[in-house]
Amino acid sequence: MPSRRSERKLPFELRLLWGLVRLAWKVAGHLAYWLLAAAGSLLWLIAWPLRRRPEAAIAWPPADAFYRSYRWRCLRIDALEANRRRYGTVTCECCLTGETERWHVDHIRPRSTHPEVALEPANLQVLCADCNLGKGTRYETDWRAGEPA
């Protein structure tokens, strides 16, 4: 008795044709994948110059270079002398103490956000180290506004 499989066996030409169709389908799938990948890469390359870039950082001179400059040193001495003339002795404009070893000449409007006024005498105030370090760059408080006690 012949098996059912042998009864249904397709002719060689049809089996060959079916194998070629399956191979073409497989190749077409791989080809489509690679074409889509290539198209995506091409779109990425085209869009690259149009991408959003972060704004260029401003090239600030290093703090050391600023604080060692001749203009800053002259301006610092001028601010300390103006403070001495105003109060009679160098005095913190914030807490009005005159007893400290370390005086800071503070930028009211910070150099980091307002570089254009970094060397303006009107933007400077004399503070003790504690007041200046506590103020930092977070506040733009002008402690010179009040009259001395």
pLDDT by residue for the chain (149 residues), tens digit each? 555 655 678 888 888 888 889 988 888 888 888 888 888 888 888 887 877 777 776 666 677 788 888 999 999 999 999 999 988 889 998 888 888 888 999 999 988 888 889 899 999 999 998 888 888 778 888 877 555 44
Task: Report CA-CA distances (Å) from 75 to 72, 82, 102, 118.
Answer: 5, 10, 17, 10
- Count the Cβ atoms, other than its own, within 10 Å of residue 107: 21
Contact 126, 91 (CB under 8 A): yes
Left if phi > 0, otherwise alpha if psi is -120 to 50, otherwise beta: which for 142? beta
User: Which pTM was predicted?
Assistant: 0.55
